[in-house]
Amino acid sequence: MEKEVIQGELVPNSHLPFSAGVKCGQFLFISGQASVDLEGKIISGTFEEECRRSFDNLKNIVNAAGLEMSDLVQVRNYVSEDKDLVAFNAIYREYFSAPFPARTTLVGCIGSVLKFEVDAMAFFK
């Protein structure tokens, strides 16, 4: 099956060996998105700032593939600290609405450099 790398004006680039998004068949696989600028440089901030920037990066990749956030079927979230879960769930609702995609949220697993990261999978109808 042929793979297509998703690129675009608002899709963050990285010096690391991965693609931000890859279309394969009817699926779009999106690599972990953190609070980075278009050149892949980490932009530190409050949890809320980093979470929103991560979701905005995710949304830009989804849009570059010709999809909408409602086309996401699975979202995996990585929250650095327990204390940020309430804020995370509030921000999550700004980006997603019912019917919600399947979701996993892990806490305390990403070290101290990032406060949040998200990866996802979408489906082309």
Distance CA 93, CA 37 (A): 23
Number of domains into which the chain is organized: 1
Give Cβ neighbours of residue 120 (< 8 Å, ≥ 6 apart): 30, 58, 62, 72, 74, 75, 76, 101
pLDDT in tens, 5-14: 999 999 999 9
Q: What is the CATH number of the domain that holds 101?
A: 3.30.1330.40
> What does the block give as tokens for 102?
């399947």
CA-wise closest residue to 84 among 103, 110, 60: 110
State which residues form the domain around 46. 3-123
Under 8 Å between Cβ of 61 and 34: no
pLDDT for res 124: 96
Question: Does the pLDDT of residue 35 top 90, yes or no?
Answer: yes
Question: What pLDDT, in 10s, does the model give residues 47-100?
Answer: 999 999 999 999 999 999 999 999 999 999 999 999 999 999 999 999 999 999
The reply to whether the predicted model has a pTM over 0.95 is yes
